[in-house]
Structure 1
Amino acid sequence: MANLIKPALMLGLAGALAACGARAPLEPLASNELPPVPYGEGERPDAEQLLEVPTLAAPERSVELRRRSEEREDDPFDLPPD
C-alpha cells in the first residue's frame, strides 16, 4: 500500500507545479532585442506576431479522406524491379 502512495503523491505534486505557472506577455530579455524590421514593413513586429505560424508552414489538409474501400486504378509506372 505504501508503494502506491509515493508515486501518486509525486504525480500530484508534479501536476500542481505544472498548473501554477504564470502567463504573461512575452518580452525579450534586457540583453536581447527583437529582430530588425522586415524589408518593406513600416514597423517592427512584436513577440506575439513573430510567434504566429504562417499559412505555408502549416497548411490545412486539402485531401478528402476515403470513406470506403475502392478498387485501385491500374498504374502504368508501377513496374517490378529489374
Structure 2
Amino acid sequence: MTRMRTLAGLGLMAIALTACGGRQPLKPVQGQNLPAVPVGAATAPTAADLMQPSIQARPERNVELLTQSRQRGNDEFDLPPEKAPK
C-alpha cells in the first residue's frame, strides 16, 4: 500500500511539473536585438514568425507513387565527356 501511494505521489508531482511551463511571449535577451529586417521584407520578423518553419524546411510530401516502370526517353543533353588534351 505504501508503494502504491509513493507511485501515485510521484505521478501527481510529474503532472504538476509539466503544468509549470511559461505562457508568455518570447523576448530577446537584455542587451541583444532581434535579427535585422530581411531584404525585401517590410518589417522585422517577430519571435512567433521566427518559430514557424519555412516551406523549404518542411516541404510537402509527394504522394504520387510509381506504379509501373517505363523506359527512359532520349536526353539531348546526355553527351559523352570530352577528351582532355594531353
TM-score by length of 1: 0.64
Which residue matches 1:49? 49
Larger Rg belongs to: 2
Partner of 1:61: 61
Provide, for residues 26-47 of structure 1, a one-character-per-residue CA deviation record: whole Å limited to 9, x for no partner: 1112122111111222321111
Aligned to 2:17: 17
Q: What letter matches 2:18 in structure 1? A: A
The equivalent residue for 1:76 is none
Which ranges of structure 1 fall in alignment gaps of 5 or more residues? 74-82
Alignment gaps of 5+ in structure 2 = 70-86
Q: Segments of 4+ in structure 1 off by > 4 A?
A: none
* CA offset digits 1:24-81 (Å, max 9, x no partner): 111112122111111222321111111111112112222157xxxx9x86xxxxxxxx
Percent identical among aligned pairs is 40
**1:6, 1:60 → 2: CA distance?**
47
Q: CA RMSD in A?
A: 2.3
TM-score by length of structure 2 reads 0.62
> Residue 3 of structure 1 aligns with which residue?
3
Aligned pairs, number: 68
SS across alignment from 1:13: helix
3-state SS, counterpart of residue 55 of structure 1: coil
Letter in 1 for 2:10: M
